[in-house]
Amino acid sequence: MNPSSVLIVDSHVHIHPSFPLANFLDSAHKNCYFEAHTRHQTESFTGFLLLTESWGDNWFQQFASWADEGKAIRNDQGSEWKVQRTEEACSLLLKANHGAKLYLGAGRQIVVKEDLEVLALLTATQFPERVGLKDTVDSVRSDGGVAVVPWGFGKWWGRRGQILTDFLLSQTPTTFFLGDNSGRPSFLPFPAQFQQARVQGIAILPGSDPLPFASEYWRPCSAGFAIQGGVGHQTPAKDLRQLMVDPRTSFYPYHQTEGLFRFIRNQIGMQIVKRQRPKTN
């Protein structure tokens, strides 16, 4: 590990079937490079995508199977990515023929009993849904993962907002995080829970949270956080986790909030997508 290098981490990554995967990975590296450039560290940076897969999604396992098969991910522009296993069940190394490199961490997005969400980062475990917030966060931490409650439109208001506020007051820095994303609209007030987290010294970790539209493939690492340090090739998830829970680590978040037009357009698009999904019993 190189302490003089910088990690560029997207803490809320979804992969959708409509995404051109090679372009998705090229965009992730390009966005990491841009953020590293703002920090004058383009010669020594590492990009890390933290998957937050919903129930039924298994892109991490798909990438792992491509590593075992030696399958490359290509596009028509000549970009080619190959997947390599590490010594961990929850991380993979992605290397491109043009010299780019990314790490991919397994993780889940869990709907809890209180109708909030918990992100279980850097773990390959699939946790049950509709369990209580406290029990789910405890399970993620006991499993060795990193627990994050991400912002969601309307989910931090009213009854649910009060539940999260009360829960937040019981948490301590380095053991729990809140999550932000580039879909949060700029015209709404800054969430009170973010204000409380700052008072308590709890870090707020942005992520790109791409929506299920083909046009969203460019988003990975367009929002995230930077931390000083590096990870080893064989245990990148363990190394990143250790940095995240180290009280000496400083987080440098970066992202842009959503404007009114794009926010309304995306909300309409999401309603159309939800109506088109097959109903489950």
* Measured distance CA(176)–CA(141) in Å, rounded: 9
What's the half-sphere exposure (Cβ side, CA atoms, 13 Å) at 218? 2
Q: Average pLDDT in the 154-166 region?
A: 97
Give tens-digit pLDDT for 128-141.
Answer: 999 999 999 999 99
Domains of the chain: 6-276 (3.20.20)
Q: What angle do CA 120, 123, 125 make, to 5 degrees?
A: 90
Give tens-digit pLDDT for 218-277.
Answer: 999 999 999 999 999 999 999 999 999 999 999 999 998 877 667 677 667 667 666 665
* Measured distance CA(212)–CA(216) in Å, rounded: 7
Q: Average pLDDT in the 114-141 region?
A: 98
Q: Minimal CA–CA distance to 182: which of 156, 157, 210, 203?
A: 210
Q: Is the pLDDT of residue 142 over 50?
A: yes
Q: Is the pLDDT of residue 193 over 80?
A: yes
103 pLDDT band, cuts 50/70/90, is very high
Give tens-digit pLDDT for 12-53.
Answer: 999 999 999 999 999 999 999 999 999 999 999 999 999 999
According to the model, what pLDDT value does residue 281 have? Answer: 45
Q: Is the pLDDT of residue 152 over 90?
A: yes
Q: Is the pLDDT of residue 149 over 60?
A: yes
According to the model, what pLDDT value does residue 258 have? Answer: 78
According to the model, what pLDDT value does residue 48 have? Answer: 98
Q: Give the 3-state secondary structure of residue 275.
A: helix
Stronger pLDDT, 115 or 266, i.e. the higher one: 115
280 pLDDT band, cuts 50/70/90, is very low
Buried-exposed string 169-193: b where 16+ CB fall within 10 A, e elsewhere: eebeebebbbbbbbbbeeeeeebeb
* Measured distance CA(110)–CA(163) in Å, rounded: 17
* Confidence (pTM): 0.93
